[in-house]
Amino acid sequence: NQHVWVKINDSPAFANQTKVYPNPGTDRIMVQLPENTQEAWIELLDGTGQRVVLERVYSNLCLFTPTHLPSGIYFYRIYNRDQVFKKGKWVKK
Residue range 66-78, pLDDT digits in tens: 999 999 999 999 9
- CA torsion sign, 42 to 24 to 16 to 6? negative
CB atoms within 10 A of CB 20: 19
Q: Which CATH number covers residue 29?
A: 2.60.40.3080
Whether 74 is in a domain gets the answer: yes
User: Under a CB-based contact definition with an 8 Å cutoff, are residues 76 and 90 in contact?
Assistant: yes
Whether 33 is in a domain gets the answer: yes
Give the type of residue at 20: V
Q: Confidence band (pLDDT; 50, 70, 90) for 15? A: low
CB atoms within 10 A of CB 32: 15
Q: What's the total number of domains in the chain?
A: 1
Whether 1 is in a domain gets the answer: no
Q: Read off the pLDDT of residues 41-64 as tens digits, 9 standing for 90 and up.
A: 999 999 999 999 999 988 889 999
Range of the domain at 85: 9-92
Whether 3 is in a domain gets the answer: no
Threshold 0.95, pTM exceeds: no
Whether 15 is in a domain gets the answer: yes
The answer, yes or no, to whether residue 8 has pLDDT greater than 50, is no
